[in-house]
Structure 1
């Protein structure tokens, strides 16, 4: 009788999320309740996701980056995120294990979802990341990464690839793990 509430999260999803995220059952239940209030349909569309991201980056233009993040987490390509995809996205972007975060970062950079990253895809994501950085922080960046193009060029150089070559997931992860500057360049951490 207690399980007949349609607004309750299924035990299967709850157990799966407890297993694959750092969130407790209580946290997941609270997230689910808020998700249901915000998205009564049980799905988040790209515009709603962009609005959520905009709240995290009030001094920046987060729209393009949010679109890429949305694409990378819409694992079934249906144009929406269900609760499970949403929680996995939160977990991955807020503190998942390094290996899993890098797997996600690869999917973020793999814009066309063909299993490889090209230099132009690196440029596209670096453009989006750069828009997250407030103008006053952009001015404090080192000279070799103070534009999206320079940032992309510097990041691409860590992978020892020619401009027309492709980068596989394992090469991406290894290249980032071997160079903390690459790790810093694939994300935006607000300056303290």
Structure 2
């Protein structure tokens, strides 16, 4: 599905329907829109940055969109094809809580070792703070990325070993309103 054609094949539709939460008609509409925005059939890192800039005009979403791009680009090709795009969209908009948590964990686990270090989390939190810019007033205990990371580690790192496993992330996130709110941000929009 990396090369653009005007329509999805029946086989592509069947496969995407079985792998996502979208129906055939929705997939066809998303594909049409994807090709309109990405005539080559591939979304680039710069293209995703432009999308994020529209949603976050008061900050700089460049770093965050680059980090998200790496999670979208599951085959590490340097571009995101329609299958990668629609799979990520399906999880973020209609996936189960556990699917969303798994996707978010991949975003934080920068080196893919199955654990989140404080430095990996800091990289993401700094990118988020830079992206939201002046849009939100944060509580004092979250007024800097470092304070937010410390607060999250205190909550999530239950064995206090300086790393967060997926199980710790999953269980702790379900107790943290801001994490659950962020995971459910796209619910019902798509």
Query: Which category describes the TM-score, using the shorter chain as reference length?
Result: 0.7 to 0.9
Q: Does 1:172 find its partner at 2:174?
A: no
Using the size of structure 2 for normalisation, the TM-score is 0.84
Asked which structure has the greater RCO (Cα within 8 Å, sep 6+), the reply is: 2
The CA deviation string for residues 117-169 of structure 1, in whole angstroms up to 9 with x for no partner, is 111111111111112324151xx321101211111111111123588632222
Using the size of structure 1 for normalisation, the TM-score is 0.83
Structure 1 residues 181 and 42, CA, compared in 2 at 3 Å: closer, same or farther? closer
Q: Does 1:125 find its partner at 2:124?
A: yes
Q: In structure 2, the residue corresponding to 1:173 is in which secondary structure?
A: helix
Matched with 1:156 is 153
Distance in 2, matches of 1:6 and 1:71, equals 25
Conserved 8 A contact 2:156-2:168 = yes
Report how many residues are paired: 183
Long gaps (5+) in structure 2:
none
Map 1:12-91 → 2, pairs under 5 A? 12-91=11-90
Structure 1 residues 44 and 9, CA, compared in 2 at 3 Å: closer, same or farther? same
Long gaps (5+) in structure 1:
none
Distance in 2, matches of 1:28 and 1:186, equals 22
Structure 1 residues 181 and 38, CA, compared in 2 at 3 Å: closer, same or farther? closer
Conserved 8 A contact 1:117-1:168 = yes
The CA deviation string for residues 44-100 of structure 1, in whole angstroms up to 9 with x for no partner, is 111111111212222221111111111011111111101011112222333422110
Cα drift, residue 186 of structure 1: 7.8
Q: Which runs of at least 4 in structure 1 moved beyond 6 Å after TM superposition?
A: 185-189
Q: In structure 1, the residue corresponding to 2:156 is in which secondary structure?
A: coil
Cα drift, residue 42 of structure 1: 1.4
The CA deviation string for residues 17-62 of structure 1, in whole angstroms up to 9 with x for no partner, is 3233333322211111121222222111111111112122222211
Map 1:136-155 → 2, pairs under 5 A? 136-137=135-136, 140-155=137-152
